[in-house]
Each structure stands twice: as structure tokens, then as C-alpha cells.
Amino acid sequence: MASLLNRPLALACGASLSNRIAKAALTEGLADPATNQSTERHCRLYRRWSEGGAGLLITGNVQVDRRFLERPGNVAIDHNEGIAALRRYALAGTCAGNHLWMQLNHPGRQTPAHVHQAPLAPSAVPVELPGFGRPVAMSGEDILDVIGRFAQAASVARETGFTGVQIHAAHGYLLSQFLNPRANRREDEWGGTLDNRARALLETVRAVRRAVGADFPVAVKLNSSDFQQGGFSTAESLQVVQWLEQEGVDLLEISGGNYEQPRMVVAARVPLKESTRRREAYFLEQAAGIRAACRIPLMVTGGFRTLAAMESALAADEVDVIGLGRPLLVEPDAPRRLLAGVTHALPSPELTLQLEDGAGELDEQERAAAKMWSIQGWFAVQMLRMGDGLDPDPSLSVLHAFRQYQANEHQAAQERNRSGATNGAKVL
Ligand SMILES: Cc1cc2nc3c(=O)[nH]c(=O)nc-3n(C[C@H](O)[C@H](O)[C@H](O)COP(=O)(O)O)c2cc1C
């Protein structure tokens, strides 16, 4: 019997996904840092993923304001031209007939200090980690500007051949900061009650929908919880998804955590309940509550590694779409093999990767950075490799990858600074 993974999924906007596997957003860092335009490296990487068989590819986060990036090599859509490059990117990423949705983001206070020392955020509450600047509380006008930017970027996505957009409201970035009472201390209509904290997200969804029309997929990635005392809670997420349903969102992706509490990537390393271990995907329990609260088709990302666990989640109607991230950085064609039933398990390098003994050479500052970023860097380097037309290298040393990642980020930051890119103009 053909796997449930092969079933198409019809979305409310009228579009249809050809199967139930989605490549989740993975920040590429492959843009030209002087212009934040996409490059041929995106085309190579996404052609490979398109041929890999997933019905849906979601791009790494694309920024709506060039002044505030998640990292220097982000693509940004901010009146910075690059339309022809985006068209080539979209063409390559849809070459096998799959959907390709652009993830739209503003990092807010999670903008690294080497990108901007004083990023805009809901309130002047810094990230409690080294490497981030002191955020400046947004004015009402700044908030309306950002909402306008999401809409503008969404219409560029449609115009250039991307087949949908995903609004990033998870992982502690700007829209997730608005939802989080620890980061959002505002006393105006954008802070305080949940209605007010959700306003930035809901207004963004409305503006994006107006910009792209009724027949274009609009998705949202939302935390099921920030997993922090006093943060955005599971109970609150249940209310927000009902509001998102009223807005006609086509697909809801469930994740969790932020930079201070990076559950989206470390959950598999923290002690898990036996039932979670068996079901692999670590946000499935939260997804069950969300499933009961709304009828938006659900994608759950984080931890799925075996065909059996994916089939079981689909068969039990717990999810509609299986999100895959890290496995597709080492096996970009895994979806095709899962769909054909010839692969039953995907790799989980994150469980075994360790900084080697050579890490002793790192100075104190480098060691602190390596603690936070070396595993992420290892995955990032696999993307750089595929962008250069190489195969991923599962045997890559963590230390070597970390050094390559640091050098890449440093060079991109320097190119960005030389280009004077921080003076982005407002769109409104
Ligand atoms: C290298 C890397 C980059 C990521 N970039 C993004 C991103 O741009 N946007 C996003 O929503 N999530 C991002 N994530 C999180 C993934 O989408 C996903 O939620 C996470 O990897 C868990 O799924 P997995 O267990 O299948 O890897 C990233 C994760 C990794 C490892």
C-alpha cells in the first residue's frame, strides 16, 4: 500500500501539495551580503531540494528590512532590486513541480550585534545572551512600517514565482517577541493582554493576505510555547490559532522556543518522555491541543526521523504535513526515498556531533561562541557546500565546520559593513 506520505493535501486557498513532506525553513546565509539579493548558490541548493521530492519547500527566513537581519547572508526584500535573481531562485526551487514558499521574517531583538547594535523590538528588553545589542522600543509608526514590509515582501514573492509565503511568528523573532510578555512590555494597543500582543501577528497576516489575494497560500510558523517562565504559553497558543483560523491561514507550522531556550533544535538532547521518544516529533503533544482548537491544516517540525513515526502521526490524524529540517542537510533526496518506501530512517547527526579535542585551541570567547553555534554551524556548512554544487559531507569535523562557519559569517559581516547596508529606507 502506498504510504500516507504520498497523499496530496488541498489547501483552503485552492492550492494543493502533492505529498505530505515539507522541507522546513533553514537559514541559508547564501545571499550577497552587500545587496542581500539571492544568488546562484540558492538556485543550486533549491534545485537539489526540489528534485529531492518534498511536496513543499519553505525557504530560510527572508528579511523584510535590510537593517535588521538574522545573519549577514540573509536574502532581504526591501526595495533592494534582485527581482531577476529571485525569479531564477523560484524557478530552480520549483523545477520538480513542488511548492516553494518564502518564509518572511523580522528578527527584532534577535538581530546579532554585528548586524545592528540597536535593533527595533517591541520593548527595550535585550536577549539574555552575549552577541546581541540593546534593542530600541518600536514606535506605533515603526510597527505599521514592519507590517507594510511583510505585505510588500509577500507580493514580491508572488510576483517572482514563489508559490506561497510563510510568516515567521516563532523562535523568538519579532512577531514572536510581540506574543511573549517577557519581551513585550508595552502598555499600548500592541502589548499587555493577549489580544494586544497578538495584534502585530494578526495585522501582518491580514496585510499579507490583502497583498497576495485569496488564491495564494499564506502560512504561519508559530511557537506552541516559548518554554520559558512568563513567556508565550501553550494555553495562549490555543487562542492565537483560533484567531489565525478566522484569518484564513492555509497551513500552520508548530514549533517552539527561542534563542534563550532553543527547544526547536535541542529538544532531542533534553530528557524526553518515553511516549515522545517513541513518537519522535517533540511538539506532537502541543500539536494535539492545537488540533483540537482549530481546523487549519497542521505541519509539525522537530524530531521526525523514521517513516514509521511519520506514518503513525498521519494515520492518527495528528498532523497533515511532516516538517523535516536537519536530515535534509545531509540527505537532500531523502523525501523521494521515503515516499517510495525505500528509506525507513533518516540520520540525526545532531545527537552525536561533538566538538573535538582540538577545541582546546579555541580562546575563551571562541569557546563561548562554539558552545552556542558549533552544531548549527556544522549544518550551515552543509548548506554552503550544496550551494557550491558539492555533496553534503556527514564526516565533516565540528571544529573545522565551526571555523568555516565563523569565517563565512565574518566575511559576510565585513562585506555588509563596507556596503553601508544599515541605512535602509522605510517603505511607508
Ligand atoms: C541550520 C538551521 C537553520 C534553521 N533556520 C531556520 C529558519 O530560517 N527559519 C525557521 O523557522 N526555522 C529554522 N530552523 C529550525 C528548523 O526549521 C526546524 O524547526 C528544526 O531544525 C527542527 O526540525 P528537525 O528536527 O527536522 O531538524 C533552522 C534549523 C537549523 C538546524
Question: Which residues lie across from 222 on neighbouring strands?
Answer: 169, 254
Q: Given the C-alpha cell 516553494, which residue does it identify?
A: 100
Does the beta carbon of 265 lie inside 6 Å of ligand 1?
A: yes
Does the domain made of 4-346 have the CATH classification 3.20.20.70? yes
Q: What cell does 210 get?
A: 490583502
DSSP result, 40-97: HHHHHHHHHHHHTT-SEEEPSPEES-TTS-SSTT--B-SS---HHHHHHHHHHHTTTS
Does the beta carbon of 105 lie inside 6 Å of ligand 1?
A: no
DSSP class of residue 296 equals: S
Please state the pTM of the whole predicted model.
0.96
CA distance 275 to 147: 40
Over the chain (428 residues), the average pLDDT of each successive run of 10 is 90 98 98 97 98 98 97 96 97 98 98 96 96 96 98 98 98 98 98 98 98 98 94 97 98 95 74 70 92 97 96 96 98 98 94 76 78 89 98 95 94 92 45
Does the beta carbon of 401 lie inside 6 Å of ligand 1?
A: no
**What is the structure's pLDDT at 425?**
36
Residue 265 contacts by C-beta under 8 Å, 6 or more apart in sequence?
257, 302, 326, 350, 375, 376
**What is the structure's pLDDT at 391?**
98
CA distance 196 to 199: 5
Kind and range of the H or E run holding 307 = helix 307-315
CA distance 48 to 330: 12
CA of 216 to the centre of ligand 1 (A): 24
Ligand 1 atom nearest 303 alpha carbon: 25
**What is the structure's pLDDT at 264?**
85
CA of 25 to the centre of ligand 1 (A): 6
Residue 188 identity (one-letter amino acid)? D
CA-closest residue to ligand 1 atom 23: 302
Write 413-416 long-range contacts (CB < 8 A, 24+): 413/33, 413/72, 413/114, 413/115, 415/33, 415/34, 415/72, 416/33, 416/34, 416/72, 416/115
DSSP result, 196-228: HHTHHHHHHHHHHHHHH-TTS-EEEEEES---S
CA of 170 to the centre of ligand 1 (A): 11
Ligand 1 atom nearest 305 alpha carbon: 26
DSSP class of residue 178 equals: H
Burial class for 341, CB neighbours closer than 10 Å (0-12, 13-18, 19+): middle
CA distance 315 to 21: 14
Per residue in 274-304, pLDDT (tens digit) is 666 667 888 999 999 999 999 999 999 999 9
Does the beta carbon of 348 lie inside 6 Å of ligand 1?
A: no
Does the beta carbon of 384 lie inside 6 Å of ligand 1?
A: no
Does the beta carbon of 302 lie inside 6 Å of ligand 1?
A: yes
**What is the structure's pLDDT at 372?**
76
CA-closest residue to ligand 1 atom 5: 26
Phi, psi at 150, each rounded to 5°: -60, -45
CA of 189 to the centre of ligand 1 (A): 31
Find, among 257, 246, 322, 270, the residue nearest to 54 by Cα. 322
- Number of CB atoms found within 10 A of residue 211's CB: 20
CA-closest residue to ligand 1 atom 10: 25
CA of 265 to the centre of ligand 1 (A): 7
Displacement of CA 363 from its chain's centroid (Å): 31
CA distance 113 to 115: 5
**What is the structure's pLDDT at 127?**
96
**What is the structure's pLDDT at 427?**
32
Question: Which residues lie across from 137 on neighbouring strands?
Answer: 121
CA of 144 to the centre of ligand 1 (A): 28
